Structure formats: structure tokens, C-alpha cells
Structure 1
Amino acid sequence: MDTTPAKPQLREQFRNVIRVNHYSIRTEKTYWYWIRYFLRYHRMRHPLEMGPAEGSEFLTWLAVSRQVAAATQNQALNALVFLYGKVLGRPLCDIGDTVRAKRPARIPTVLTHSEATQIIGLLPEPHKLIASLMYGSGLRVVEACRLRIKDIDFDRQIITVRSGKGDKDRITLLPASLIEPLCARRARIQRAWREQDAFYQCDASLPYALRRKYPNAARALE
């Protein structure tokens, strides 16, 4: 009887490798989206049956036929480089004939402080507080939404960002104007959590193996 374990599917191989390398969940989803797009474009051929020529053809099609932005084409390229280099062990050595999407030279639109505060003031809570954190502390959307009570130091007026871009931690400033609304928000959350409000009984996001190590941490107040 053959006891050789079945070879994992490409999706499982990809997931295992990208998580061992500690890429973010958003990067994992984005990369897999482009890998699936690449496979569908080539009529579901296995990537081991293809190489730089097929990769170049796909990226050129994105730029010429789909007219994607340069950043979008680079994202697809990074996904293919990861797939072949990290997952399959066959790096894409030469895709030099790829038509690259051009990045237009445009002057960025920058809101004045008055314009930014006016827009933020039109938002309902808690979106207003989230946007204020992004504007005042330089947090990204995911960082602001995943912010934990324990990561806000009101005395020193700093915020500790855990597992930010590139899986790096960093410290940023907490604007004095946000201390009062954040304290009020914290008090409401603590009260609702103690009253077992159904909205606050859902699990929080935990990185890597913490959910297994601390089964109750996902629903702890802090």
C-alpha cells in the first residue's frame, strides 16, 4: 500500500510559504488574487508548465489591454516573483520584454489643514475618530482599526503600532485633541463589554499562533 502523502495543492503551498515568511494577511490576499488571475489568463495551466515568457505576456496584457496603473502592474509582478521564487523554487530570471505601464507625472492633491478638518468633521462616529487618528497620528486604515486599548499611552501621548507595514512595530505621537474623545470611546467600549453587548463579543484579530496559545485573548478587553 502506498503511504506517500499527497502533494499539497498550489493554494496550500502558497499559504504555507507566505505565512512562514510573515507577510501580512492583506499581502497574502493580494498576491493570491494576482496568481489566480495569471492562471485563469493562461487557461488554468500549472505555473510549473510556464515561465518568464508567460509571465511577460500576462504583465504586458495588463498594461496594454487592461490599461492598469503602474502600481497595479508592479503588484502583479511581485506576486509572480514570489510564486516562482519562494513557492516553486524557480525564479523568474528574465521578463525584460514586458511592456511596463507608465507612471504619469502628476502633481499630488494635498488638502489644507482646514479642508481636512472640515471633511473629517462631516463623518459620523466612530469613523470620525478613525479618520482623526489617521490624519493626526499618521496611522494607516488597518492600523487605526486594529488599535488596542493597551497600545495607547495617554500620559506620554504616544501610540504603539503593532505589526505595521513590513510587519514592523513603531511609535507615533498621539495628538492632545484626541485624548478626550479616545478616553470617552474607551469608557463606552469598557461599559458595553462588561454588559456583554453582542457587538463587542466578536473575536479580535490576533497574529500568528497567539490565538492557539491564548484562546481567550481574542475576546479580552485589553
Structure 2
Amino acid sequence: MPVLPREVLSLFDEALVRETIPAERHVYYRKWLCYYLDFFATYRLNGADGKNLPAFLEKLREKNQSEYYRRQAAHAVTLYFAACLPTSHQPHPTETGPGSGNRGSGKSISPGNLPTENENPALSSKAKDKGRGNSASIAPGLETKQCVGGEGNPPPLKTRGADWKSVYSTLVSAVKVRHYSPKTLKAYKGWIHHFQNFVKSKDPELIELSDVKEFLSFLAVQRNVSASSQNQAFNALLFLFRHVLDKEFGKVEGVVRAKRKPYIPVVLSREEIDRVVMNAGYPYDLIIKLLYGCGLRLAECMNLRVQNFNFDFGILTVHDGKGGKDRTVPLPEALIPELKSQLETVIDLHQRDLKAGYTGVFLYGQLEQKYKNAARELVWQWFFPAKELTPVPGTKERRRYHLHDSQVQKAITGAVRRAKIPKRATAHTFRHSFASHLLQANYDIRTIREMLGHSDVRTTMIYTHTVRSRTVKEARSPLDF
């Protein structure tokens, strides 16, 4: 294959950077350029003539290369001409085509308007040379040797055992830039890891929609996963294609779908909840009361800080709930004394931490860069702080974290067992009970939806199956009321 002179390779790499092509794809762009140059050397055509580019793309199509790869190849070639030809000889930006565009130069390049050898004498100085292995008709200084700066032909794409590190690093960046929760990132990474194993670590560039279809069918048929798990895997792979691999996802048809079973949540009676609370020690008894009294998710409860409580108005503000949404819920009046007592405990702990010279609490995002002293201020302290300070790896800092979710789940499981409740109750069961008891008390379903923080009332409607309706009456016309 032709060898790219280092000055040409340098210009081409600069064009890739200007086009914001991910670094892990640079080798593939160089590969397409080398294939393009070798193609025209093989068939004794003029590679500097943009009118011949469709012949190269047609050859790729005959080789069963996907449309995605053909577009990538066309993009690589147009970038090569835009970067390596004198500005006066670059194609006019009036025409456009697949893979066109050069944001760095402000010009739009397309395969159909690349300059010919007659328009650029530098490219055609040896255009009369012919034969396989003679690339003088392609670009100045090219020799028929190994590709890409003499460093060897890019390795062929692996059908198994490829490195997926760049996929996971891009995934992390794509999730964080969209401010998705750490749990979403963990779930996506888990499913993508399963998918990677399923395709035997095939090179990400070779991943196609057919692989997704086979994987989703495998989950339903071989693994017998639930419908919700299959949907979660689907969402993870959809994100992988769109935001990591930058590929079209298309329609997923012909996939065996896991059968969705009607889900009726477990609900505890008020008497059962009281028994669980009595068998839970401090501070887990107060946490259970908040989960039930305000309809909180466990993560929302653990992330509460001092500033979330407004005792004057009896309101609890939940920040960054599921989906990054905020909402307010009324504080149970029966809990006000216990909550104020917990606040005093937090204040005392905060004073002791300040005297001990602790660094502060953990803050999310860039808050600490924006508010330098926020980590040590009372309003940012956790309402349910961990018992011990947490050492920060790589530093000498010791910070305060909140109680871990697993500690609360373990405490609730133990309390349910000691209370001899014959139901499979978890922390989320108290949220289900909150909604069901409000519905049982004839509260409007839309009011309950707002208190739960649901985006769609159809999600809230599931609780209509947990209680017996007390509002069913004989059918009458409203005119007779």
C-alpha cells in the first residue's frame, strides 16, 4: 500500500482533530485513505480525480461494506483532499455529498467536486506512470510501501478479542455530560459488558444492528430475563449506538420479546408499618417514617441535606430525584419533633467535625468549585450522616458521607423479619404503601402523581390494583345529583 509522507500525514491528522473525529477512530480514517490510494494504484486510475471516488465506494459496496463504513471512507477521502491540497485548488463549497464538510477550513467537501489532476499539477507530475504499486498519480511523494507514515498497514478489524477500553471511556463521558445518575451509568456498563461478551469482544466498528437483535433474543429465550430487564438492555444498547459508536440504530424487528407480566407492588398495612418501625433502631426508624410519610425513594431519602427541610412551612424539597427532577412534599406533622431532634444531632456532629478539622461533606458535580466553603457549611450537611469519616484516596482529606443505601436495606430487612411480617418488604415498599393509602383515602390520582414525582399518570395508575375501590356507586346521571 502507499506510504503517506509525514507532512501529509500530519496535515491529515490535523484535519481529523478539526473535524472532532474521536481519537480512537483516527486509525480507521487512515485505513480508508490507504485503501482508497491502493485501489486507484491497483486499477491504474487517477486517485486525484474526485470523479473516480464513486468507483471506490461502489467497490466497497460490492465487498459488502455497510453504508456506515462507506460514509466513513468517503469522509476520510474528502478530508484528505481538503487538508493536503493547496487552498486555491480545494473543491468549491457549493456541492455537498455524503461525508462532506470541513469545519476547520470553512469549506464543504464532497466526493463529486474533488479537483482533477489537470487542476492540480502537483498531483499529476507523474500521472503518466502506471502499474500496480505506482502511486505517483495519486499524490506527490507517495510510494507503494506500507501505509500510514511507514508504520505499517492498520491492523485488520478483529472479529473477537478486540479492546473495548475506548468504548467504556466514551460511555462514561457521554453519560456524565448528560447528567445521568451513577446508577444509570452502572446499569449501562453492565449491559454493555454482557453484550461485549456475547459478541466475543468483536471490534466495535464491526458491531451491527443484527448483533443487537440476536443479543435481545438471547436474553429472552436463553436467559429468561424479565421484560423490564430486556428493556433496560435495549436502552443501554440504544445509547451505545447513538452516543458512543455514533451509528444509526434503526428499527429492531424480529426480536423475541420477554413476556411482560402484570406487576402489583407489595403494600403494607398501617399496623404492619408500625410494627416494622418498632423493630428498627435509630436512625432507621426515622428513615422508615420518612419513606412512608413522604413517599420517598431510598436514594432520595439518603441524599437529603439540612437545607431540604422547611419547618416553618412544613415542606420537604426533594432535589435531583429520579430523572433529575425536583419536587416538594408536605412534611408529616407527627414527625416534626423527631426531625428537629435529628437536626440537633446533625448540628452537634457538624461542630465536632469542624473542631477536628475535617474537609467537609461530599458534594456533587462542580458545587465545590463554585462554592469554595460549601462542604463545611451547615446547610450542606447530610441529614442522615455516616458514623465515620471517609478517607479520600490519593489525598489526606477525610470527608463525611451519608448512610449507605445497603445499610438501610439491611436494617429494614432485619426489622421486617423481627416484626414477623409475611411479606417481601423492602425500602421501596413504604413508597408503594404511601401511594396506596392515599388512593384508599380517595385522594385524586393526579395529586398522588405529583407527590410521587411521576412524569406520567399511567405509572401511578398501578396503585389502583393495590386497594379496593370505595368510590364505586350505582350508575347515575350527573343531572340527577
Tell me whether the two structures share a fold, i.e. TM-score over 0.5: yes
Task: Look up the match of 2:368.
Answer: 211
Contact 2:278 2:285 in 1 (8 A): yes
| Aligned CA distance change for structure 1 residues 217 and 95 (closer, same or farther; 3 Å) | same
Task: Look up the match of 2:336.
Answer: 179
Kindly indicate whether structure 1 or structure 2 has the higher relative contact order, using CA contacts under 8 Å at least 6 residues apart: 1
* 1:160 counterpart SS class: strand
List aligned pairs for 1:141-156, cutoff 5 A: 141-156=298-313
Task: Look up the match of 1:128.
Answer: 285
Gaps of 5+ in 2: 1-5, 25-165, 380-481
CA distance in 2, matches of 1:217, 1:63: 48
Contact 2:354 2:376 in 1 (8 A): no
Could you give the per-residue CA deviations for residues 5-32 of structure 1, whole angstroms, max 9, x where no partner exists? 7826222211222122221121112111
Contact 1:39 1:45 in 2 (8 A): yes
CA distance in 2, matches of 1:173, 1:107: 26
Aligned residue pairs total 222
Q: Which amino acid in structure 1 is aligned with residue 347 of structure 2?
A: Q
Q: How far 1:205 moved relative to its partner?
A: 4.3
List aligned pairs for 1:179-198, cutoff 5 A: 179-196=336-353
Contact 1:15 1:28 in 2 (8 A): yes
* 1:37 counterpart SS class: helix
- Out of 23, 36, 49, the residue aligned to residue 7 of structure 1 is 23
Could you give the per-residue CA deviations for residues 26-69 of structure 1, whole angstroms, max 9, x where no partner exists? 11121111112211221122333112111111112222222111
Determine if the alignment matches structure 1 residue 119 to structure 2 residue 276: yes
Task: Look up the match of 2:323.
Answer: 166
Q: How far 1:198 moved relative to its partner?
A: 10
Gaps of 5+ in 1: none
| Aligned CA distance change for structure 1 residues 176 and 104 (closer, same or farther; 3 Å) | same
Farther-moved stretch of structure 1 (132-141 vs 15-24): 15-24
| Aligned CA distance change for structure 1 residues 119 and 17 (closer, same or farther; 3 Å) | same
Determine if the alignment matches structure 1 residue 86 to structure 2 residue 243: yes
Q: How far 1:168 moved relative to its partner?
A: 1.1
CA distance in 1, matches of 2:356, 2:278: 25
TM-score (structure 1 length as normaliser): 0.89
* 2:223 counterpart SS class: coil
Task: Look up the match of 1:34.
Answer: 191
Contact 2:227 2:257 in 1 (8 A): yes
* 1:171 counterpart SS class: strand
- Out of 94, 101, 105, the residue aligned to residue 258 of structure 2 is 101
Determine if the alignment matches structure 1 residue 139 to structure 2 residue 296: yes
Task: Look up the match of 2:456.
Answer: none
Report which of the two has the higher share of helix.
Answer: 1
CA distance in 2, matches of 1:150, 1:118: 31
Farther-moved stretch of structure 1 (85-94 vs 34-43): 85-94
Contact 1:158 1:171 in 2 (8 A): yes
Query: Which structure is larger by alpha-carbon Rg, 1 or 2?
Result: 2
CA distance in 2, matches of 1:91, 1:192: 53
